[in-house]
Structure 1
Amino acid sequence: MIKNAILTIEGQEPFEMPVLSGSLGPDVIDIHKLYAGTNMFMFDPGFTSTASCESKITFIDGEKGQLYYRGYPIEQLAEYSDYLETCYLLIYGELPDAVEKQKFELGVLRHNMVHEQLTWFFRGFRRDAHPMSMMVGVVGALAAFYQDSLDINNPDHRRIAEYRMIAKMPTLAAMCYRYSKGLPFNYPRNSLSYTGNFMHMMFAKPTEDYVVNPVLERALDRIFILHADHEQNASTSTVRLAGSSGANPFACIAAGIACLWGPAHGGANEAVLKMLDEIGDVSRVEEFMQGVKEKRYRLMGFGHRVYKNMDPRAKIMKQTCDEVLNELGLQDSPKFKLAMALEKIALEDPYFVERKLYPNVDFYSGIVLSALGIPVAMFTVLFALARTVGWVSHWHEMIADPNQKIGRPRQLYTGSGRRDYLSVDKR
């Protein structure tokens, strides 16, 4: 059944617009002919009610607390899958069989080295530079070293570029960390898993053997899965907008990293740790939460702009958090006790329950990353590492769409009307 929406504007004929239905989620009104038919634009700051594209990759129902990658619930992927298999799913749309999985893993691993001259870039950064500033620079610079995969109209070039970015992101992230600490870079080891190799490049000492703890490896791999994609968020939309101009894939991902760096987007778990440090002690929790009610303090890591119910990733991260703290013997650490006291009040106090301010994925992931020994400044870098596959999947989907056009939002202009220029002596 064909449905239409009718827009009634005073002084004009009613204007009909098609109503489109997706496989899941609410219907959308197709307004792309609105300006031609009415001489008007839609006004939607922040795109809160605008579907900017059609996509088959990720579905979110914020009211029901659902997150699906290619139709698979995030809970199932986090429990049964691993990060590279999830990468395959996001890129190709289906889970791989055993042969496809092995081929994909080998294809990614063979690209995890970076050009040796790229390591010289780090010498130009200050040692106290924020790791995200280094990531923006070195990821964008990949286009200067891998010029054999820049033709976005060539499907083979696109695939090679996607594999390279997924493979090299852990290497570059670890290099940012090691450089800031004055430590020598560690080369990748293909005998390790994707996540185990990242841990090796981060923490191994040249003078000692490094053994990957499987509990911690699984926890970090799960964090990567949970952050792999999240539909049309700010950074993904940035990648799509940059890509719509025909920019090379490395530049597009660098743009996504720059957007993710913003504290309103990628800095949420970092903000959780800063909040815990500011509270300081479990004895101050009740006073702090009362201050939240009185708008004197901000509660970080609770509630979500999209999820109006429980964040489906939070339950998984809560379990992961317990596993990591038990493995490391940190159950009684002051910071963990402080976090659990906050969680208890938020889940029981009517003020927070009525406003659905449940703990979100950032609340627990910040605690886990801190327990793993990852500095707060590196949190957003790990977010970028995990989200790279989501970015390249959306970029590929957009470039492969024959109907895609360069992004060009419009505006409601409220500035001065036409004015004539006056020479400086008459102003």
Structure 2
Amino acid sequence: MGQPTDSTPTNSLTVRDNRTGKVYDVPIVDNSIPATAFKAMKAKPAPGEREENETERGLRVSDRGFLNTAVIQSQITYIDGEAGVLRYRGYPIEQLALHSSHLETAYLLIYGSLPSANQLKVFEAEVLHHGVIHSDAELFCRSFRYDAHPMAILTSAFAYLGSYYGEANPSLQGQSLYTKGDPASLAIMDKQIYRLIGKATTLAAMAYRVRQGRDFVTPPNGLSYTGSFLYQMDHLGEENYTPNPVLEKALDVLFLIHADHELNASATTVLQTGSSLVDPYSAIAAGCASLYGPLHGGANEAVIRMLISIGKPENVPAFIEAVKKREKVLSGFGHRVYKTSDPRSFIVRKTADEVFKITGKDELLETAMALHEAAMKDEYFIKRRLAPNVDFWCVFPVHDRFEPRSNGNLQERSDIPRDGLPT
């Protein structure tokens, strides 16, 4: 089985159905085969077989976890999980993190090439211009409980935005709204891109300030995308307040390395939701809901909670043994795609080191370092390829802003300056 024959190679797969003895040739295109080709492979049901199997209507392809299924052809992102490689439009993620900004990389992902200086200037101006939210959004966000999870607020807020922009809704403007390809259609598409990217940080900052019981802050003029976001989260009326540039750069790098990751759960959710021709804001709200879960974007929060539960570095050995006995859950280690190392984790680790020069280290970090060192020396984790992933290290450029409440939630620490500089 699986041995090559002496016949001339062809770009096809020959399948023999041993139920019927029939042989089928399936074309191979871009190293993939169409799942619908198996619909032709029909047979009589076996005695006692489930009627629901619909055997006479052809074979199905079962891939519950999308472990080896291609649903779309794309040139946006390339991942080699075995080698630990991540590229955006052919550019290594390490190169972009060092030389590019989040908005420049966003332009690359959306439009296919890095922008010229003038194109980037226009793109940044449009995105920042659309950061302002309608004043009614304040009432909407304030309608949530004071302790509502920020992701619950953000998910709802994206859907809420869709009600303001009827011109962006194919249900109201026609199914070909985004597929005409004419200048008007492309302009509408671009405006929604500006709005979504621009308003995302504004809504996120509002969700954060709901939790803090603070008034909302209008996006300022003259700051970068991430600088504006930090300003909106931290500003408390200080004169000439600006975010710390080290923290600003660190957050920009975090945004950049999370800008795309092929068909992860949230991207798949957005595509499937958008395929019904729903408005872009509802599709992003669906993706945001998918991101919320602890097996996806919520893994960052799960790492913080895990480290808080461990408490101190000296408690790490007992925690490691509990993980082996399946009594505890290990968060932030291993990855479905990366089987060696997550290239993003090295970038974040270096970024975190720069942040720690400003904020200093604490016991939570020492606990994480002890956990990392212990896991990397333990045969149990080595055999299972459980190395720290991007979620493990991503918590540290921002974790010093938070401390645990007695009920297990996180609240902002009052002993750390909002610009991240030591007192």
Tell me whether the two structures share a fold, i.e. TM-score over 0.5.
Answer: yes
- The correspondence for 1:269, drawn from 267, 288, 300, is 300
2:188 is paired with a residue of what secondary structure? helix
Task: Provide the residue aligned with 2:174 in structure 1.
Answer: none
Provide Cα deviations, 1:49-90, integer angstroms capped at 9, x if missing partner: 111111111111111111111111111111111100011000
Task: Provide the residue aligned with 1:34 in structure 2.
Answer: 38
Q: Distance in 1 between matches of 2:262 and 2:249?
A: 24
Q: Distance in 2 between matches of 1:48 and 1:372?
A: 37
Q: Is the Cα–Cα contact under 8 Å of residues 63 and 308 in structure 1 kept in the other structure? A: yes
Q: Distance in 2 between matches of 1:144 and 1:117?
A: 12
Task: Provide the residue aligned with 1:338 in structure 2.
Answer: 367
Provide Cα deviations, 1:146-185, integer angstroms capped at 9, x if missing partner: 2233333322211111111000000000011112221110
Q: Distance in 1 between matches of 2:72 and 2:374?
A: 40
Q: Is the Cα–Cα contact under 8 Å of residues 216 and 372 in structure 1 kept in the other structure? A: no
1:345, distance to aligned residue in structure 2 (A): 1.4
Provide Cα deviations, 1:183-220, integer angstroms capped at 9, x if missing partner: 11000013000000000000000254422111111111
Q: Is the Cα–Cα contact under 8 Å of residues 153 and 207 in structure 2 kept in the other structure? A: yes
Q: Is the Cα–Cα contact under 8 Å of residues 143 and 250 in structure 1 kept in the other structure? A: yes
Identity %: 44
Task: Provide the residue aligned with 1:90 in structure 2.
Answer: 109
Q: Is the Cα–Cα contact under 8 Å of residues 381 and 387 in structure 2 kept in the other structure? A: yes
- The correspondence for 1:20, drawn from 23, 29, 46, is 29
Matched, 1:308 2:316: no
2:35 is paired with a residue of what secondary structure? coil
Q: Distance in 2 between matches of 1:315 and 1:346?
A: 17
User: Which letter maps to 1:19?
Assistant: I
Distance 1:124 1:67, change over 3 A: same
Task: Provide the residue aligned with 2:384 in structure 1.
Answer: 355
Q: Is the Cα–Cα contact under 8 Å of residues 130 and 377 in structure 1 kept in the other structure? A: no
1:134 is paired with a residue of what secondary structure? helix
Matched, 1:243 2:262: no
Higher helix share: 1
Task: Provide the residue aligned with 1:60 in structure 2.
Answer: 79
Q: Distance in 2 between matches of 1:257 and 1:83?
A: 19
1:28 is paired with a residue of what secondary structure? coil
Matched, 1:69 2:93: no
Task: Provide the residue aligned with 1:318 in structure 2.
Answer: 349
User: Which letter maps to 2:322?
Assistant: G
Matched, 1:298 2:332: no
Task: Provide the residue aligned with 1:8 in structure 2.
Answer: 16
1:32, distance to aligned residue in structure 2 (A): 2.6
Q: Is the Cα–Cα contact under 8 Å of residues 132 and 261 in structure 1 kept in the other structure? A: yes
User: Which letter maps to 1:270?
Assistant: E
- The correspondence for 2:67, drawn from 48, 55, 58, is 48
Higher mean alpha-carbon deviation, 370-379 vs 123-132, is at 370-379
Q: Is the Cα–Cα contact under 8 Å of residues 127 and 180 in structure 1 kept in the other structure? A: yes
Higher mean alpha-carbon deviation, 293-302 vs 135-144, is at 293-302
- The correspondence for 2:257, drawn from 220, 226, 232, is 226
1:102, distance to aligned residue in structure 2 (A): 0.8
Provide Cα deviations, 1:22-60, integer angstroms capped at 9, x if missing partner: xxxxx2222233214542211111221111111111111
- The correspondence for 2:360, drawn from 315, 326, 329, is 329
Q: Distance in 2 between matches of 1:374 and 1:147?
A: 42
Q: Distance in 2 between matches of 1:264 and 1:347?
A: 22
- For these two proteins, the number of residue pairs brought into alignment is 372
- The correspondence for 1:253, drawn from 274, 277, 284, is 284
Task: Provide the residue aligned with 1:190 in structure 2.
Answer: 221
Task: Provide the residue aligned with 2:55 in structure 1.
Answer: none
Give me the TM-score of the superposition, normalised by structure 1: 0.83
2:17 is paired with a residue of what secondary structure? coil
- The correspondence for 2:318, drawn from 263, 284, 287, is 287
User: Which letter maps to 1:318?
Assistant: R
Matched, 1:167 2:195: no
Q: Distance in 1 between matches of 2:410 and 2:111?
A: 33
Q: Distance in 2 between matches of 1:33 and 1:374?
A: 55
Q: Distance in 2 between matches of 1:323 and 1:186?
A: 28
1:221, distance to aligned residue in structure 2 (A): 0.6
1:60 is paired with a residue of what secondary structure? strand
1:32 is paired with a residue of what secondary structure? helix
Whose radius of gyration is greater, 1 or 2? 2
2:127 is paired with a residue of what secondary structure? helix
Higher mean alpha-carbon deviation, 115-124 vs 102-111, is at 115-124
Matched, 1:113 2:113: no
1:103, distance to aligned residue in structure 2 (A): 1.2
Higher relative contact order (CA 8 A, sep 6+): 1
Q: Distance in 2 between matches of 1:242 and 1:148?
A: 19
Q: Distance in 2 between matches of 1:159 and 1:378?
A: 37
Matched, 1:129 2:160: no
Distance 1:373 1:221, change over 3 A: farther
Q: How does 1:393-404 map to 2 (within 5 A)?
A: none
Provide Cα deviations, 1:400-424, integer angstroms capped at 9, x if missing partner: xxxxxxxxxxxxxxxxxxxxxxxxx
Structure 2: gaps of 5 or more residues: 1-8, 43-57, 170-176, 180-184, 413-423
1:6 is paired with a residue of what secondary structure? strand
Q: Distance in 1 between matches of 2:70 and 2:223?
A: 41
Matched, 1:152 2:183: no
Q: Distance in 2 between matches of 1:326 and 1:169?
A: 29
Task: Provide the residue aligned with 2:418 in structure 1.
Answer: none
RMSD over equivalenced CA pairs, Å: 1.9
Q: Distance in 2 between matches of 1:161 and 1:291?
A: 48
User: Which letter maps to 1:6?
Assistant: T
Give me the TM-score of the superposition, normalised by structure 2: 0.84
Task: Provide the residue aligned with 1:412 in structure 2.
Answer: none
